[in-house]
Amino acid sequence: MRSAAGKWGIGVCLGLLWAFTFGCATTNDIRMVQDDLFRIEEKINKMRKDMERVERGLGKPVKVLEEKPPFDFAKEFDLTKRNQAEIMVKIDELRDSLQLARGEVERQQYRMSELSQKLDALGARLVSFDAKLSALKPPKPPEGEKGAPSPEASPAPPPPPPIVATIDPNKVYQVAYQDYQKGNYPLAILGLKDFLGKYPQSARAEDAQYLLGECYYSMKEHENAVTELDKLIRLYPQSPFVPGAYLKSGYALWELNRMPEATARLNDLIKSYPDSEEAKQARERLKARPKGKGPAPKPGMKKG
């Protein structure tokens, strides 16, 4: 652009020189040419300034682009993926550690419960043994010549009755029941069997017998569940747990695919307790053919 304007100015100058040389230009013509030349120079100067301003404006972003390296998306994505993978590994490690800690706590609770029961039993045996030793001690002979009994000596007092340690059966039952509520079924089974072995005549015996069947059913040991629930029906026919025992033993037989026995058990429940909630559930299960899925609802149960 600057070259074209310069050529134009040179051409005008040559034209003026030619006019002066040949004496054909008037004073007015010269003045007009001078004005044109002045305007041309102004335009040239303006164009030069515009070009410089444009060059300055273009130079800045070019320098910025040259100085700042381009953003590497692939590199940043790989870095983010690596960080995420490391975080997930740490989370898995923490989850494993927590699971191990929970398992250790449950094992310690189980050992503490066993130890407590053993200590109670040992304490009772020690008290009984001490009482028996006291009963076996011979009485002191009365003072007299050659060991002869003194007429004034009073008869030896009878030995004291043996002292037997008393353990509250309800507390033993409550420990097992709490284990059942927490889902510690193996520990609950140990406590319930210990309770039934020591206190078969307790008012809580039928509760413990039903809970024993519930524990086995929850552990999916359906054969054992049927055995314990049948025992409840046989030993405690008037128990309020009998409808629940019919229902759960029917469910267990159903899970064992012993369908004729399961159907008969549920029909016995409906016939014997037609208005019970358990009978309603039994009717719903009998409608579910083929074999239904999902855990059966638990009947109500007394709490201590």
At the top level of CATH, the class of 169-287 is mainly alpha
Strand blocks (E) in the chain: none
How far apart CA 208 and CA 174 sit, in angstroms, is 10
- Answer whether 253's CB lies under 8 Å from 213's CB: no
Q: What share of the chain is helix, strand, coil (3-state, %, to 5)?
A: 75, 0, 25
For the chain, give me the number of helices (H) and strands (E)? 10, 0
Give me the long-range contacts of 108-116 (CB less than 8 A, separation at least 24): 109/184, 109/187, 110/184, 110/186, 110/187, 113/175, 113/179, 113/187, 113/190, 113/191, 114/190
Query: Helix or strand or coil: residue 180?
Result: helix
How far apart CA 217 and CA 2 sit, in angstroms, is 100
Q: What pLDDT does residue 269 have?
A: 95
183-237: per-residue pLDDT in tens? 999 999 999 999 999 999 999 999 999 999 999 999 999 999 999 999 999 999 9
How far apart CA 262 and CA 279 sit, in angstroms, is 14
Mean pLDDT per block of 10 residues along the chain (304 residues) reads 52 54 55 72 76 65 53 76 81 76 74 76 68 64 52 58 66 93 94 94 95 96 96 95 96 95 95 95 86 44 45
How far apart CA 82 and CA 88 sit, in angstroms, is 10
Q: What pLDDT does residue 40 have?
A: 74
Q: Where are the domains of the chain?
A: 2-64, 169-287
Q: What pLDDT does residue 276 have?
A: 94
Q: What pLDDT does residue 65 have?
A: 47
